Amino acid sequence: MLLSFYVGVIIMEYRILGQSGLKVSRLCFGALTIGPMQSNQPIEEGAGVIAKAIELGVNFIDTSKLYNTYPYIRRAMEITNNKDIIISTKSYDYTYEGMRETVEEALKALNVESIGIFSLHEQESVYTLKGHGEALRYLYDAKKAGKIRAVGVSTHNISVVEAVSKMPKIDVVLPIVNYKGIGIGDGTIEDMLKAVHNAKLSGKGIYSMKAIGGGNLLGDVKRSFDFVLNNEDIDSIAVGMQSENEVMANVLMFEGKEVPEDIDSKLRKTKRRLLIDTWCLGCGKCVERCTIKALKIVDGRCVVDTDKCRLCGYCSSVCPEFCIKVI
Ligand code: SF4
Ligand code: SF4
């Protein structure tokens, strides 16, 4: 289903997220980037970025318990006086009680009576899905009680997308999809797209993550967006944004429009840096890959020399844990 909403010259497209029935904007605001794990913006500043996206028609926000961004989202809803935003959040909880506490905390922190989508975060295999059976049981109960509207699973792995397609009570899948297949844990982008297609046929709502490969495809944002936008199986695409200019540029690109030169020029001048996520295992594969020797292992974790790093992103292509991002 395709609906349109006009904001000035901008047309925001909405789609129905599979069996969840939720109507979401094609552009989903990825909240990780504004929070403490990445750009660590003051609440008012980060909330202002989300509010800009809401003003331009974005009604869908992706976050997680881990990201610590509920205060930004709550404040953005206050600024825009809009409580109809569909929030998708997730957690690693695996027990019934743990997940119950997490959902209650989220409802309170966001100051809402119901959350759009609550997902198991970053499932790695059929076995981890089984291991989270009790947490899922709580999510199904929470849906019946109206505390959440849909149950989801986020993953970097094809085998999980395939398994979830056979689980009728899961409404939404959040897989990693980008044209280079960066970050896919167990196969190629072609395999992932087949699994996503089958998930779609089984009634799942699909919204994808990491369209620009965790910042590693920033050199070709248009190609990266076109790849996911031209895939009819994908209802919405979560994109991390950390400034109002990024919001404006992404909204325009999602509409196939040109980004004005002044905005484009400011974005090109944005200072970027390499981020090594905390779950780095210190395997050293990235150190071997970096020919200019900008990486080393210190106390079992990779550390970057920012004076040397040219942000080429080559090191991220060999990281088995998808730890290396450009932000
Ligand atoms: S982004 Fe490029 S220069 Fe920077 S650490 Fe990685 S491989 Fe080295
Ligand atoms: S390749 Fe990834 S996991 Fe290995 S040391 Fe580098 S960042 Fe850490």
The angle formed by the CA atoms of residues 65, 68 and 170, to the nearest 5 degrees, is 25
- pLDDT band at 6; cut points 50, 70, 90: very low
Residue with tokens 């297949």: 181
Residue with CA nearest ligand 2 atom 1: 319
Cα angle: 27, vertex 30, 36; to 5 degrees: 160
Nearest to 163 by CA among 141, 132, 142: 132
Pocket test for ligand 2, best of 274, 276, 296 (most atoms within 8 A of CB): 276
One domain for residues 195 and 308:
no
CATH number at residue 300: 3.30.70.20
Is 93 in the same domain as 208?
yes
pLDDT of residue 314: 82
d(CA 93, CA 270): 36
The preferred substitution site among 292, 306, 317 for testing ligand 1, maximizing ligand atoms within 8 Å of CB, is 292
Going by pLDDT thresholds of 50, 70 and 90, the confidence category of residue 10 is: low
| Range of lowest pLDDT (6-15, 49-58, 65-74, 118-127) | 6-15
Q: For residues 119 and 222, state if they share a domain.
A: yes
Return the pLDDT at 295: 97
Strands 10-16, 3-7: pairing is antiparallel
Token pair, residue 255, equals 């509409």
Cα of 179 to ligand 1 centre, how many Å? 20
Residues 75-91 have a mean pLDDT of: 97
Q: Which of 87-91, 169-173, 214-218, 250-254 has the lowest mean pLDDT?
A: 214-218
Residue range 299-320: average pLDDT?
90
CATH of the domain at 199: 3.20.20.100
Claim to verify: residue 210 and residue 107 sit in the same structural domain: yes
Phi, psi of 19 (to 5 degrees): -70, -10
What angle, rounded to 10 degrees, do the helices at 133-144 and 96-110 form?
50
Q: How confident is the model at residue 292 (pLDDT cuts 50, 70, 90)?
A: confident
Pocket of ligand 1 (CB under 6 A): 274, 289-290, 292, 294-295, 304, 309-315
How do residues 93-116 score in pLDDT, each as one tens digit?
A: 999 999 999 999 999 999 999 999
pLDDT at 1 over 50: no
- Pick from 304, 262, 306, 265: nearest CA to 286: 304
241, 268, 295: which is the final residue of a domain? 268
Mean pLDDT of 293-316: 92
Residue 174 and residue 30 in one domain: yes
* Tally of structural domains, the chain: 2
Q: How many CB atoms lie within 10 A of CB 324?
A: 26
Helix, coil or strand: residue 119: strand
Looking at the fold, whether 73 and 119 belong to one and the same domain comes out as yes
pLDDT score recorded for residue 211: 96
For 229, 231, 233, the CA distances from 226, given in Å and listed in that order, are 5, 8, 14
**Considering every ligand atom, which ligand is closest to the CA of 295?**
1
Predicted pLDDT at 9:
57
Nearest CA to ligand 2 atom 5: 282
CA distances to 68, 106, 136, 202, 229 from 109, rounded to whole Å, are 10, 5, 21, 34, 32
Are residues 71 and 48 both part of a single domain? yes
Which atom of ligand 1 is nearest the CA belonging to 326? Answer: 1
Same domain, 235 and 321: no
Q: Which residues line ligand 2 (CB under 6 A)?
A: 276, 280-286, 302, 318-319, 321, 323-324
Which atom number of ligand 1 is nearest to the Cα of residue 314?
A: 7
Q: Quick one: what percent of the chain has pLDDT higher than 90? A: 85
Query: Which structural domain, as residue segments, surrounds residue 88?
Result: 3-268
Ligand 2 atom, smallest distance to 322 CA: 2
Pairing of strands 295-298, 301-304: antiparallel
Which residue, of 268, 297, 315, is where some domain finishes?
268
